[in-house]
Amino acid sequence: FNDLSRKLDLLELEIKNKTQKIEESNENIIVLDKEIKETELELQKHKQTISKSDLEKLIAQKELEIKFFEDAMQKISNKIRELEVKIETSANIKTKVKDLNQCPICLQVVSKDYKDHIIKEETSKIKGLEESLDINIKQKREALKKLEELKEDLVILKERDRKFDIIKIKLEVIK
């Protein structure tokens, strides 16, 4: 009789343990169902905002725009350097002409009027070059600002793309 009573107790304990495991499994199922619904809702929200292929197209477009502005920045930088060299050259000409008393080639005396004329011409050139330089520097600042905005946009788009992938993986793992 004791042996039967003990077996009964063991069976009841086993039933209690299995019942507890079933309840835990049911709770896990409820949690997983909730996760699935949340993930599907999140995926639906992202799909409504923009599709994956559209997002990839936008990323490619932003990368092209960034390349365009980087190329433009390079061209502007080259133009700025060219203008700086021309300004420097004109300044050197002014200095040399100002100090010139005799033509080094024909050895004639260089008149003050001729020197004033060359200095006036070079001063005018420098003024025009400096105006162009200022415009190019402004364009470079604007292009740099736009480039930074595009790069920020690209980071945001890539983050959204990454979230898409994460949600997709979550759904595959859950299901």
Give the model's pLDDT for residue 67: 93
Amino acid at 43: L
CA nearest 57: which of 155, 161, 148, 167?
161
The token pair at 61 is: 């477009």
Specify the pLDDT at position 125: 96
| DSSP, residue by residue, 30-86 | HHHHHHHHHHHHHHHHHHHH--HHHHHHHHHHHHHHHHHHHHHHHHHHHHHHHHHHH
Assess contact for 37 and 29: CB atoms under 8 A: no
Q: Which residue has the tokens 């010139």?
A: 100
Report pLDDT for 31.
81
Mean pLDDT by 10 residues, the chain (175 residues): 81 88 82 74 66 84 92 94 96 93 90 94 96 95 93 91 82 73
The phi, psi pair for 91, rounded to 5°, reads -65, -40
- C-alpha of 43 from chain center: 25
From the list 77, 83, 61, 87, the residue with the least C-alpha distance to 141 is 77
Q: What's the pLDDT score for residue 48?
A: 54
Kindly report the CA angle at 122 between 103 and 99, in degrees rounded to 5?
40
Q: What is the structure's pLDDT at 47? A: 59
